[in-house]
Structure 1
Amino acid sequence: MKKEAWFGLTILFGIIITLFIFMPAPADITNGHMGLLMLALIVAAIMLGFPTAFTLMGMGVGFTLYAYQDMGTRLAVEQTLDLMVLRTYAVMTNDVLIAVPLFIFMGYLVERANLIEKLFNSLHLVMARIPGSLAVATIITCAVFATATGIVGAVVTLMGLLALPAMLKAGYDVKLSAGSITAGGCLGIMIPPSVLLIVYGAVAGVSVVKLYAAAFFPGLMLATLYVVYVIILAKLKPKMAPPLSEEDKRITLPEFAENIKNAISNKALPGLLTALKGKRNASMPAKTLLYQLFITLLPAIVFFGAMGITYGIVTAPAPQQTYELQEMGFGSFDTPSDSYSSGLAEPPGAGGLAEPPGTLNEPPGAEPMAQAAVEEVTATETVIADEAGRTNAPMTFWIIFFTGLALLLIFYTFFTFARLEIFKMLLASFFPLAILILAVLGSIVFGFATPSEAAAMGAFGGLLLAFAYRRLNMAMLKESMYLAAKTSAMVCWLFVGSSIFSAAFALLGGQEIINAWVLSMDLTPVEFMIMAQIVIFLLGWPLEWTEIIVIFMPIFLPLLGHYNIDPLFFGILVALNLQTAFLSPPVAMSAFYLKGVAPPHVTLNQIFLGMLPFMGIQIFALILLYVFPQIGLWLPEVLYK
């Protein structure tokens, strides 16, 4: 038997032995103890390979019948069936879950648009002069692609087919190569739009919009830490990540670029501008030159366009409210007299109200002062009404503008025809995905659309990408829809099963026992947070993130209020912690995905060893986020004050 199987069986037997040690004598067993027994049995059943969703439902139904056994068989069955129907209906009416199938459908469309190869090739040329460039490009490619798809297995499998042979051919260490692919592929479960955050939001009752805003910077931080680790390791141990050869860095230029480079200049902007003049473009069509010039000027066009829009926003005059001064009294509303013909009238012979004798007069000089005040207010309102000019732009705008302008000049100074070809490769691979991701995230984070609406927009964007890359056909569309329906059904059945299981667990009193046990330890909020994250980290070894979220989060969530812990911050810590669920043996699914497509000489143990340093980075990132919570909370606080 393999070592991995022995390791899994050891954990399983450890759970069972611990269960028998801590369970009381049969005579002292209460319903609460049966709830804890149910919790331990579900972990053992999942490790034995039983389907998670239906195991949750089966145990939930069985233990609910046990809880209602004193009512008699008929009533117990009725109560159990009612519980199943109510919990299933609650899941079906959860609006948050509508986004799940749409995001999954978007992921499968993007995966089948065949962008990953172009993305990896362009990024590894961009990073060619950075130590460990292939591994860095692999992590960035995995991060971008995993963010767009959210499907860890697809990203790890595709990168295993594409990047692993390239890294092994370049002499990279097997463990570093495997670790870069598996760790990078898991970033999609953390960086929005993440299905994990939707599931956590549905379980915890936390806004998915705020979760996405809070997870953005921690996800980028984790990806950056991976890249920094690879660069430092490649710098200290060049044998583990040798630099690329000159042949691998060479870029083949098209004919027009070679002609301009040899005859005029190697710099793209001056070369193209000069080639448009006089006889120098006789051998090159003007249409080609203008098209290449447009691509070359695209960064400048985007920069000046963005700054122009920003200038219009920051200098727009504040909206002014104008108020019309009116004398107080019944006649101040200028109501036509016939509008209220049936209203109150003066009594006959009253002669109207008159000033009483000896009316108080204004003090001397008061009338000119009041008239002057009225004239001053009128003049001020006239100035406001007539003011059509804009306010001055703040100094921050000009600092950003001139800094960007200087960077733009430096960019064009070193922008050669070789870099122009790399830029065009990025335009064909990186930027479409980046625009799709930013459009989906931006519409959610800035409140333009709900997660479900943004997911629909993302699915439509995936269709457009597949069409633009000529990959959209009926067979591809049917396969994507089938896989999206299959994955969505798995997630929804998990929700149904976990809802029934959680209801049975609470009915038996298991939640009360755990709450009483935790509260009896008299932990501080810091100690509770550390204990919770350690438990989740250990659960990541035998279980996947879906099982941890739907089974164990309902146990922790009721305790957060007692320790004054924000469920939003707790969710981001959990999402960062659950990266380990895909990297920790024996149920490290990303390792098995990679092993399935790796060359025969790459062993599973090498893949596991390669993942361990990245698990250490995840723990370090978790500590950073806990010590500096504003990494995650700053953006939602700014956007949703």
Structure 2
Amino acid sequence: MSDPVLGMVMLGSFIFVILLGFPVAFTLMAMGLGFGYLSMHERVFDLLVQRTYAVMANDVLISVPLFIFMGYVIERANILDRLFRSLQLASGGLPGSLAIATLATCALFATATGIVGAVVTLMGLLAFPAMLRAGYDTRIAAGVTCAGGCLGILIPPSIMLILYGATAGESVVRLYAAAFVPGIGLALLYMLYVLGLAVMRPATAPRLPPEERRVPFGAVLLALATSFMPLAALIMAVLGAILLGLATPSEAAAMGALGAVLLAALYRALSFEKLKESVFLTARTTAMVCWLFVGAYIFTSVFGYLGGHHVIEQIFVEQLNLSPVTFLILTQIIIFLLGWPLEWSEIVLIFVPIFLPLLPTFGIDPVFFGVLVALNLQTSFLTPPVAMAAYYLKGVAPPEVRLSQIFAGTLPFVGIVILSMALLYVFPELATWLPAYLYDHAPGVAGENVLEIPEGGFRVDDEMPSLPPLN
């Protein structure tokens, strides 16, 4: 069996095994080592050491545990209920005000945490019952909660964009700048949809009773000043430091983690037990991410060594003879379909690198491609059968709420995501304008060490950082 055929057998075997439910990270390593041993024999173990060291020495990944820690501390500081209440008071006069307040809370809280499961679960406990009590249609309330909770994948500081930047060898700062406008735009499209639905079909999203809307203006300002403004200031400080080039993502993440601890202390919600839980959850999540990176790099290294990338390139370039537009559409359809059985981390670390070497051939900016992928991955949490946001919500929803109702509620928001991707195809400046404006005339501002994947994938004899001597 030739090496390219062996590479395609390796890819097909991996998809089959993970669909059986085996752990992804260790399946990647096992597949990489097993198929690598068939082609390069003992040298595959040198590859294992090299790629593991390369992941652990990657400066970009330092920001991952810091942003995760920031999110867990904020989650446990009981800020969400204050934030939702203040935004509910501020939007009380609008049609569908509870749904709009939920989406605004999700957008802000997802920006602060980036942890989809935490946001959906907390909003499922807080906002979802409030909407049901107010007479909202169950499907609308479920769709708003699930779609809003997934915004953290796209809106900076997104963990997904950090992983994509490290995988693609692109500046995380430029990715954040590119994703900022599409992320806020997607949240606004969600709100416009809810507002239009509430106007055309008031029974599905009724207004609040008059007595709940008659709140003194001073009380609204006080609620915003004590809940919305502190969290917004923390987020703007972190994002502003990154986008303006005042700090690298790792430095800004450290500042955000410290700010989250101080904010929790200010709200008198900081305790040793909560801090210990945040550290434990951060360590567990970071370990999962790092093992996924190690497994993905070993897998893609062996896949590239076997010539699997060249087979993919021949299919897309020579046999299908695709134009850049059709290549983009086809890759996004593949990623969309992969989102049904797989989670976003598996797609970004395993399948997206297969397409990255083809981007120069079609003249596609990797930063623009990364924003498209981030938009597309919103659907991986919303489309069955593995719609994790729906399962998170079902776990905390009242027993009478059926999973089929939650799925039905998420489908219009999947359509909005597809619409936003179409808008980005037609108007790519939505993603490219801000990074070009901020950084194209200031070389070096957006730079940070990244681990690049060479065209055609890793090879076992690629130059790697030397291992530190053993004492």
Query: Quick one: which of 222, 242, 249 aligns to 1:444?
Result: 242
| Counterpart mapping for 1:532-611 below 5 A | 532-611=331-410
| Counterpart mapping for 1:121-140 below 5 A | 121-140=85-104
| Counterpart mapping for 1:88-103 below 5 A | 88-103=52-67
Q: Which residue of 1 aligns with 2:463?
A: none
| Counterpart mapping for 1:161-180 below 5 A | 161-180=125-144
Alpha-carbon distance between aligned partners in 1 of 2:233 and 2:14, rounded to the nearest angstrom: 42
Cα distance, 1:494 vs. partner? 0.4
Alpha-carbon distance between aligned partners in 2 of 1:507 and 1:560, rounded to the nearest angstrom: 19
Alpha-carbon distance between aligned partners in 2 of 1:38 and 1:426, rounded to the nearest angstrom: 54
Does residue 1:234 correspond to 2:198, yes or no? yes
SS of alignment partner, residue 361 of structure 2: coil
Q: Greater Rg, structure 1 or structure 2?
A: 1
Does residue 1:502 correspond to 2:300, yes or no? yes
Q: Which residue of 2 aligns with 1:491?
A: 289
Q: Which residue of 1 aligns with 2:17?
A: 45
Amino acid at match of 1:452: S
Alpha-carbon distance between aligned partners in 1 of 2:93 and 2:142, rounded to the nearest angstrom: 22
Does residue 1:147 correspond to 2:118, yes or no? no
Alpha-carbon distance between aligned partners in 2 of 1:30 and 1:246, rounded to the nearest angstrom: 74
Deviation track 1:186-205 (CA, whole Å, cap 9, x = no partner) reads: 00110000000000000000
Deviation track 1:606-635 (CA, whole Å, cap 9, x = no partner) reads: 111100000000000001011101111111
Query: Quick one: which of 253, 259, 263 aligns to 1:465?
Result: 263
Does residue 1:627 correspond to 2:436, yes or no? no
Alpha-carbon distance between aligned partners in 2 of 1:475 and 1:191, rounded to the nearest angstrom: 30
Q: Which piece of structure 1 moves more, 208-217 or 121-130?
A: 121-130
Cα distance, 1:599 vs. partner? 0.3
Cα distance, 1:247 vs. partner? 2.5
Deviation track 1:456-483 (CA, whole Å, cap 9, x = no partner) reads: 0000000011100101111111110000
Q: Which residue of 1 aligns with 2:160?
A: 196
Query: Quick one: which of 177, 184, 194 aligns to 2:148?
Result: 184
Percent identity between matched residues is: 61
Deviation track 1:387-410 (CA, whole Å, cap 9, x = no partner) reads: xxxxxxxxxxxxxxxxxxxxxxxx
| Counterpart mapping for 1:287-326 below 5 A | none
Amino acid at match of 2:354: I
Q: Which residue of 2 aligns with 1:614?
A: 413
Cα distance, 1:433 vs. partner? 1.0
Amino acid at match of 2:149: G
SS of alignment partner, residue 129 of structure 1: coil
Query: Quick one: which of 302, 322, 326 aligns to 1:527?
Result: 326
Alpha-carbon distance between aligned partners in 2 of 1:472 and 1:48, rounded to the nearest angstrom: 42
Cα distance, 1:425 vs. partner? 0.6
Alpha-carbon distance between aligned partners in 2 of 1:468 and 1:449, rounded to the nearest angstrom: 25
Does residue 1:478 correspond to 2:276, yes or no? yes
Deviation track 1:214-266 (CA, whole Å, cap 9, x = no partner) reads: 10000000000000000001111111011111122243xxxxxxxxxxxxxxx
Alpha-carbon distance between aligned partners in 2 of 1:39 and 1:79, rounded to the nearest angstrom: 20
Q: Which residue of 1 aligns with 2:220?
A: 422
Does residue 1:244 correspond to 2:205, yes or no? no
| Counterpart mapping for 1:213-224 below 5 A | 213-224=177-188
Alpha-carbon distance between aligned partners in 1 of 2:269 and 2:201, rounded to the nearest angstrom: 42
Alpha-carbon distance between aligned partners in 1 of 2:224 and 2:12, rounded to the nearest angstrom: 50
SS of alignment partner, residue 561 of structure 1: helix
TM-align CA RMSD: 0.9
SS of alignment partner, residue 192 of structure 1: coil
- Name structure 1 gaps, 5 residues minimum: 1-28, 69-75, 252-417
Amino acid at match of 2:123: M
Query: Quick one: which of 54, 68, 86 aligns to 2:26?
Result: 54
Amino acid at match of 2:134: A
Q: Which residue of 1 aligns with 2:233?
A: 435
Alpha-carbon distance between aligned partners in 2 of 1:250 and 1:40, rounded to the nearest angstrom: 61
Alpha-carbon distance between aligned partners in 2 of 1:518 and 1:600, rounded to the nearest angstrom: 48
Cα distance, 1:59 vs. partner? 0.8
Alpha-carbon distance between aligned partners in 2 of 1:445 and 1:518, rounded to the nearest angstrom: 35
Count of equivalent residues: 439
SS of alignment partner, residue 562 of structure 1: helix
SS of alignment partner, residue 150 of structure 2: helix
Cα distance, 1:46 vs. partner? 2.1
Cα distance, 1:527 vs. partner? 1.2
Alpha-carbon distance between aligned partners in 1 of 2:395 and 2:438, rounded to the nearest angstrom: 43
Cα distance, 1:512 vs. partner? 1.2
Query: Quick one: which of 28, 39, 62 aligns to 1:67?
Result: 39
Alpha-carbon distance between aligned partners in 2 of 1:164 and 1:569, rounded to the nearest angstrom: 34
Alpha-carbon distance between aligned partners in 1 of 2:11 and 2:70, rounded to the nearest angstrom: 35
Q: Which runs of 4+ in 1 moved over 6 A?
A: none
Alpha-carbon distance between aligned partners in 1 of 2:110 and 2:269, rounded to the nearest angstrom: 19
Q: Which residue of 1 aligns with 2:175?
A: 211
Does residue 1:160 correspond to 2:114, yes or no? no
Cα distance, 1:172 vs. partner? 0.3
TM-score of the superposed pair, with normalisation by structure 1: 0.68
Alpha-carbon distance between aligned partners in 1 of 2:111 and 2:20, rounded to the nearest angstrom: 31
